[in-house]
């Protein structure tokens, strides 16, 4: 029994990507599928980073092809990240394909920890990732990523070279100030400092730039949402009613400026006692999922209230790096893949392909 190349294309095209729930054909992930001398050659190009999933997807396709009667099969699975649309009339950022804003309506819900682990998880899945600590009044990423006391260099005296931690590029106002010095700045001054950090950092060919946003929905957050080319936003909340009230305000802010919500992460959803194993919903239960249902946005997942997450972040090695095989790290990677998939399903931004036109007198 043998099949033709067209039959092979139809067979592979209808197989379902386990991460997206869509067929490889409908997602335009099937690039080639040919048969010659009894051997099938297939190449799949995913629009999201999923290095940990490549082998399983290749095995899934190979099994289906061999079951169809092909003697041998060679399956290649790669990921290619492209830019996707941002707000209208906002200039794209050089060296950055997509920007993910991680926000919360209030402080203390674990937004910075989630931002760091999300960035690191995307990098573990094979993406080129940067992290901008935009929390001017309380920068925590230098400590969280083991970079405290270091400063970015400026070879050309115009731009800063981001520092690198655990494979991701990082910049923060925390690198440029005394950690014990309070930022007694009014909104416009803080916003200008943040714009300089964003635009004067020499980001190097990033698939994703994760921005750890300041908590709240004030002037700084609104100005950033209107001027930064954001591909999508992730809202971090706890199940607590008070936190959800503020998270809803954050979601509404992004909606007003035309930034799509990629999903909601429920942090500190459950605590499991390390001594007896008793599970308790300290901050309530199901609040994040309920909010997703109310607004029709994806629920990306829940994360536990776990002492190890805090200890690992405080030590400068967040969970995704410190314990990559743990259940919590797997949850972070699952959330990261869902965020990347949500971005991949957006319309592509083709502005970077058009040349800049400069008119000058000669």
Does the annotation place 149 within a ligand binding site? no
Does the annotation place 4 within a ligand binding site? no
Token pair for 346: 């957006």
Does the annotation place 109 within a ligand binding site? yes
Does the annotation place 70 within a ligand binding site? no
Does the annotation place 286 within a ligand binding site? no
Sign of CA dihedral 145, 151, 155, 160: positive
State whether residue 40 is helix, strand or coil.
strand
Secondary structure letter of residue 177 according to DSSP = S
| CA distances, 336 to each of 78, 266, 327, 340 (Å) | 17, 14, 14, 6
Backbone angles phi, psi at 101, to 5 degrees: -90, 125
Strand order of the β-sheet with 129-133 is 163-165, 168-172, 129-133, 206-212, 96-103, 232-237, 261-266, 299-302
Pick left, alpha or beta for residue 143 (phi over 0 → left; psi -120 to 50 → alpha; otherwise beta): alpha
Which class for 165: exposed (0-12), middle (13-18), buried (19 or more C-beta within 10 A)? buried
* Parallel, antiparallel or unpaired: strands 232-237 and 206-212: unpaired
Does the annotation place 249 within a ligand binding site? no
Does the annotation place 346 within a ligand binding site? no
Does the annotation place 126 within a ligand binding site? no
Token pair for 90: 């906002």
Contact 103/235 with Cβ under 8 angstroms? Answer: yes
Residue-by-residue DSSP string for 12-36: HHTSBPTTTSSBTTTTT-EEEEEEE
Cα(31)–Cα(44) distance, rounded to whole angstroms?
Answer: 6
For residue 319, count other CB atoms closer than 10 A to its CB.
25
Cα(115)–Cα(48) distance, rounded to whole angstroms?
Answer: 18
Contact 269/234 with Cβ under 8 angstroms? Answer: no
Contact 212/101 with Cβ under 8 angstroms? Answer: no
The annotated binding site is made up of 105-112
The annotated binding site for ATP is made up of 105-112
């Amino acid at each position: 029994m043998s099949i033709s190349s067209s039959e092979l294309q139809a067979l592979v095209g209808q197989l379902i990507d386990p991460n997206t729930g869509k067929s490889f054909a409908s997602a335009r992930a099937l690039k080639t599928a040919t048969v010659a001398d009894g051997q099938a050659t297939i190449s799949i190009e995913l629009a999201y980073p999923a290095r940990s999933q490549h082998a399983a997807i290749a095995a899934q396709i190979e099994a289906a092809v061999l079951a169809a009667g092909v003697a041998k099969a060679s399956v290649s699975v790669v990921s290619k990240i492209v830019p996707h649309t941002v707000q209208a009339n906002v200039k794209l950022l050089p060296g950055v394909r997509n920007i993910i804003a991680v926000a919360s309506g209030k402080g203390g819900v674990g937004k910075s920890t989630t931002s760091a682990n999300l960035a690191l998880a995307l990098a573990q899945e094979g993406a080129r990732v940067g992290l901008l600590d935009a929390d001017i009044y309380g920068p925590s990423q230098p400590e969280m990523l083991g970079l405290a006391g270091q400063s970015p260099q400026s070879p050309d005296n115009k731009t800063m070279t981001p520092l690198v931690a655990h494979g991701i590029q990082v910049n923060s106002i925390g690198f440029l100030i005394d950690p014990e010095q309070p930022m007694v700045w009014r909104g416009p001054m803080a916003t200008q400092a943040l714009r300089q950090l964003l635009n004067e950092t020499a980001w190097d060919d990033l698939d994703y730039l994760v921005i750890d946003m300041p908590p709240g929905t004030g002037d700084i957050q609104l100005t950033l949402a209107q001027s930064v080319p954001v591909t999508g936003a992730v809202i971090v909340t706890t199940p607590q009613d008070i936190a959800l009230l503020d998270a809803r305000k954050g979601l509404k802010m992004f909606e007003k400026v035309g930034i799509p919500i990629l999903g909601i992460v429920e942090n500190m959803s459950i605590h499991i006692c390390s001594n007896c194993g008793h599970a308790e919903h300290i901050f309530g239960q199901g609040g994040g999922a309920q909010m997703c249902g109310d607004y029709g946005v994806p629920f990306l997942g829940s994360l536990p209230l776990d002492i190890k997450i805090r200890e690992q972040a405080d030590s400068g090695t967040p969970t995704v790096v410190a314990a990559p095989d743990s259940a919590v790290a797997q949850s972070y990677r699952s959330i990261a893949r869902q965020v990347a998939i949500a971005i991949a399903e957006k319309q592509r931004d083709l502005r970077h392909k058009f040349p800049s036109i400069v008119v000058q007198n000669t």
